[in-house]
Amino acid sequence: MKTARQNLTNPTSEALKRRLRACLPADCIIEDTESQRPYECDALTIYRDLPLAVVLPETVAQVQQVLQICDALNVPVVARGAGTGLCAGAMPHPEGVLLVLTKLDRILEIDPLARTARVQPGVSNLSISEAAARHGLYYAPDPSSQIACSIGGNVSENSGGVHCLKYGLTVHNILAMTVLTVQGEALTIGSLGLDSPGYDLMALFTGSEGLLGIVTEVTVRLLPAPEIARVVMAGFDSIDAAGDAVGAVIAAGIIPAGLEMMDRLAVQAAEDFAHAGYPRDAAAILLCEMDGTREEVAQHVEEVTALFKQLGATSLTVSQDEAHRALLWKGRKSAFPAVGRIAPDYYCMDGTIPRGQVTYVLNEIYRLSEHYGLPVANVFHAGDGNLHPLILFDASDPQQVRKAESFGGDILDLSVRVGGCLTGEHGVGVEKLRKMPSQFSGQELAQFEDIKYAFDPALNLNPGKGIPILKRCQEYRALPARHQHD
């Protein structure tokens, strides 16, 4: 999927580079192919390309100038944060500029009384919580990549994590943003209050995958760190029993801080990697975390433990202290790299399904796994229905790549068919673009397209990602055909 550079002598490309050099320090532009390699893909590495230039501005004013130059020359702009995305949303455009925002990495202000933090887009998710910790506060959304992933990227993908059922997604935890339009005009959206006077552009921009504007500052909400959190781990001898136990917790009126399920292959890989004490013989395990005041956590741990016993748990472990809790989570949080050790490559899917369908869906996935001859390990945010099947394959074998893609596509179709959706938190990017018609009608896709035109009439912001462009394909700056994997 890599290709030779095109348009190297294209006059627009030369004019672009000349003007970029005039507004950015030399060490903020990368033009040569070898130095650009680290930026050719995000964490979904099967989709790669190289841009005309990679730029790493150090100030918002420089970002603005880059956008103005690209607008004047009608050149595509792809924004990139830490590059931890999983849908090729930050894959460079071969005729465009890759706008890397990692140098805008300052926490500008923490207001402990109002419980907010004002940060630049390149700040890592975890560093916000670390900076807020001395005030007893934290930023709730915690994607597995939280050590590395940037808040700007979290906003663009509406990232989740393992605590979404109780604490919501990025969209529920941010108040205001400064964004630049494709023409480089600055705009403040949202407010320090809990709503704003016109249309809710915070809702529209969050999860818009860099298609509507460039985020240059974010004000996030901080929450008081809970007094205590404890996790109950239960093993079950069937997927059905584990699925029933998930429903039973919710039916008991308990909203756990996190409720995760892993199936046998995922449990075994994670245990070999993290030595967290997971029961290797279980068909599935649940990790159920309760947080809050000491009294309520004690009560909920007792209730959940009793429920799991009653529903046939084959093993039960309750975290005894913070170190033990961290160890139990370590297995889950390192599930992706752990699975990465048992196969040359893995392909992570992200459909969301109604919780009640989990048994049916997992059994269908096992059937597909046999059909394609590719093993699959399942990690499931059971509390909010977000499924992450990890398809194991070898990327050096083109046949296996094609099979993995078809298998993944079947899983997405299955998620939509049972009343779910294509993507819970990873985004559409390039990866799921051709699957969009399975969830949306032509009229719905056309409405997305009209929204895109309202913000970016020349279609220069992250073209070829997020939403398929149907109507004006003649003039549309689609990605070259090599990125279409039919």
Partner 1 sequence: MTEQRTSTDSDQSEAIIAALQDARERQAPVYISAGGTKRNLVGRQCNAAELDVSAHRGIVDYQPQELVITARAGTPLTEIAAILAGHQQRLPFEPPLFGGRATLGGTLACNLSGPARPWSGSIRDMVLGVQMINGKCERLTFGGKVMKNVAGYDVSRLQAGALGTLGVLTEISLKVLPQPQKALSLCFAMTADEAVQTMNQRAAEPKPLSGAFWVDGQLYLRLSGAANAVDSTARQWGGESVEDDNALWEALREMALPFFAGDAPLWRFSVQSSARVATDFGETLIDWGGAQRWLRGEHSREQLDRFANDAGGHASLFRGGDRNSEVRPPLGKVERRLQQQLKHSFDPDGILNPGRLYSWL
Task: Indicate whether 135 belongs to the interface with partner 1 (CB under 8 A).
Answer: yes
Residue 314 buriedness (CB in 10 A; 0-12 / 13-18 / 19+): middle
- Residue from 61, 72, 187, 470 binding partner 1 (CB under 8 A): 187
Count of CB atoms situated within 10 Å of the CB of 3: 12
Residues of span 238-267 touching partner 1 by CB under 8 A? 247, 250-251, 253-255
- Residue from 92, 153, 256, 427 binding partner 1 (CB under 8 A): 427
Q: What is the DSSP letter of 478?
A: P
Task: Indicate whether 274 belongs to the interface with partner 1 (CB under 8 A).
Answer: no
Query: Which tokens in the block code for residue 280?
Result: 């290797």
Q: How far is the CB of 295 from partner 1 (least distance, A)?
A: 4
Query: Which tokens in the block code for residue 298?
Result: 């004690």
Q: How far is the CB of 199 from partner 1 (least distance, A)?
A: 5
Task: Indicate whether 426 belongs to the interface with partner 1 (CB under 8 A).
Answer: yes
By beta-carbon proximity to partner 1, the closer residue of 40 and 291 is 291
By beta-carbon proximity to partner 1, the closer residue of 176 and 343 is 176
Task: Indicate whether 476 belongs to the interface with partner 1 (CB under 8 A).
Answer: no
Q: How far is the CB of 335 from partner 1 (least distance, A)?
A: 18
Phi, psi of 146 (to 5 degrees): -60, -20
With both helix axes pointing from N to C terminus, report the angle between 358-372 and 398-417 in degrees, rounded to the nearest 10. 160
Residues of span 30-89 touching partner 1 by CB under 8 A? none
Q: How far is the CB of 443 from partner 1 (least distance, A)?
A: 4
Residues facing residue 174 across a β-bridge: 220
- Residue from 454, 470, 480, 482 binding partner 1 (CB under 8 A): 454
Q: How far is the CB of 202 from partner 1 (least distance, A)?
A: 9
Task: Indicate whether 137 belongs to the interface with partner 1 (CB under 8 A).
Answer: yes
Residues of span 138-157 touching partner 1 by CB under 8 A? 157
Task: Indicate whether 293 belongs to the interface with partner 1 (CB under 8 A).
Answer: yes
Q: Which stretch binds partner 1 (CB under 8 A): 31-39, 162-170, 258-266, 402-410?
A: 162-170
Per-residue b or e along 68-90, where b marks 16 or more CB atoms closer than 10 Å to that residue's CB: bbbbeeebbbbbbbbbbbbbbbb
Residues of span 362-391 touching partner 1 by CB under 8 A? 381, 383-386
* Side chain identity at residue 397, one-letter code: D
* Gyration radius of the chain's alpha carbons: 23
Residues facing residue 186 across a β-bridge: 180
By beta-carbon proximity to partner 1, the closer residue of 46 and 254 is 254
Task: Indicate whether 134 belongs to the interface with partner 1 (CB under 8 A).
Answer: no
With both helix axes pointing from N to C terminus, report the angle between 358-372 and 239-251 in degrees, rounded to the nearest 10. 150
Q: Are 469 and 476 in contact (CB under 8 A)?
A: yes
Which residues does 104 contact at the CB level (< 8 Å), separation at least 6? 57, 58, 59, 60, 63, 120, 121, 122, 152, 216
Binding mask 404-423 for partner 1 (x = CB under 8 A): ---------------xxxxx
Tell me how long the chain is.
486
Phi, psi of 121 (to 5 degrees): -65, -25
Q: Which stretch binds partner 1 (CB under 8 A): 23-31, 274-282, 298-306, 338-346?
A: 298-306
Q: Are 444 and 421 in contact (CB under 8 A)?
A: no
